[in-house]
Amino acid sequence: MNQRINLKTTILAVRNLIRPALARCGFLPIALALALFALSKGALAVSPPPDGDYGGGNTAEGGDALFSLTTGGGNTATGSGALFSNTSGSANTATGQGALDSNITGSNNTAIGINALFSNNADNNTATGYLALFQNTTGTQNTAKRC
């Protein structure tokens, strides 16, 4: 009435069927997912890394932006050569190549555009647009928009 069943043979047969299936269907996708995850962290990075914080509330990004800075604080320079000559001017914002390039001690200026306020070394000026207030050197409290 009772027949003897050989479980060892049955278990080994099932185990042998599962192993190749995992190797084909489970291991490869998992390995691929892990590899892509590891590479994705590097893919999100910016190269070269941003220059960022210069201390004293100064921030710069771009070749030679805030190049001459010594004691000025609260400046933001974005673009190649933005606020290039600034040493002690504070609270300036320059966005665009050469914006506020010649500013050394001027403070509270905003220049947006290529070479905006390029020659400036005064306070409280705002220039928007390509070459806006380009030749201003000592004038204060000026606002200019160039289309």
pLDDT, tens digit, 9 for 90 and up, residues 34-48: 666 565 544 444 445
**DSSP letters of 16-70?**
HHHHHHIIIIIIHHHHHHHHHHHHHHHHHS-SSPP-EEEETTEEEESTTTTTT-S
**Whether residue 33 sits in one domain with residue 52:** no
pLDDT grade for 52, boundaries at 50, 70 and 90: confident
Mean pLDDT rounded to a whole number for the chain: 81
Same domain, 68 and 122: yes
Lowest-pLDDT choice from 2-16, 53-67, 70-84, 103-117: 2-16
Q: Are residues 67 and 39 in the same domain?
A: no
Domain with 73, as residue range(s), is 47-139
Q: Which residues contact 124 (CB under 8 A, 6 or more apart)?
A: 107, 108, 109, 140, 141
* Residue 4, pLDDT score: 66
Same domain, 20 and 65: no
Same domain, 61 and 125: yes
Q: Residue 118 in contact with residue 134, Cβ under 8 Å? A: yes
pLDDT the model gives residue 37: 59
Domains held by the chain: number? 2
